[in-house]
Amino acid sequence: MLEIREKFTADGYEELSGSAASDSFHITEAVDKDEVIGFIAYSYEKDKTVVYDYDDGGDLMLCDGLVRSVIFKSCIKAVETMEFQISDEKKYANLRKLKFLPENSKTAENIDRFMNGCQNCKHNK
């Protein structure tokens, strides 16, 4: 069974945590049958959430779940902006395909409105 779990240490992610300019570095992992199949690395800044990297194993739906988990937690903290600082430019294609980012941008604004808009997705054509 797939679970999205926050990891409370940076063990195994030291390279990413070293590049983060924040004391609030976090890892959320996707775990299936006790095997890590993906992750997202991020931090909470004063007025934004910064995403440093993610690995979805090539699964677009897993990418969606990982990013939405961080958006949800950001909304709880009243953070409205998410900035992606991912070094692998190819990873932005999925973020745009999933409508997390507009074309030619690495910043998502009004993420609370984005999440609230999803409540009616099944009714939209």
| Model confidence pLDDT, tens digit, residues 6-26 | 998 888 888 887 766 567 899
The whole-angstrom separation of Cα 26 and Cα 37 is 17
Instruction: Using alpha carbons, select from 41, 45, 47, 16 the residue that is nearest to residue 26.
Output: 41
The tens digit of pLDDT for each residue in 102-122 reads 999 999 988 876 666 544 454
Least confident of 9-13, 35-39, 57-61: 9-13
Residue 19 has what pLDDT?
A: 62
Please say if the pLDDT value at position 78 is more than 50. Answer: yes
**The pLDDT of residue 3 is above 80:** yes
Using the predicted structure, report yes or no on whether residue 123 has a pLDDT greater than 70.
no
Task: Report the number of distinct structural domains present in the chain.
Answer: 1
Domain containing 46 equals 2-123
d(CA 65, CA 30): 9
75: domain CATH number is 3.40.630.30
Among the listed residues 48, 51, 42, 49, the one whose alpha carbon sits nearest the alpha carbon of residue 86? 51
Strands in 1-125 per DSSP E = 2-7, 25-32, 35-44, 49-55, 82-84, 107-108
How far is the C-alpha of 32 from the C-alpha of 59, rounded, in Å? 13
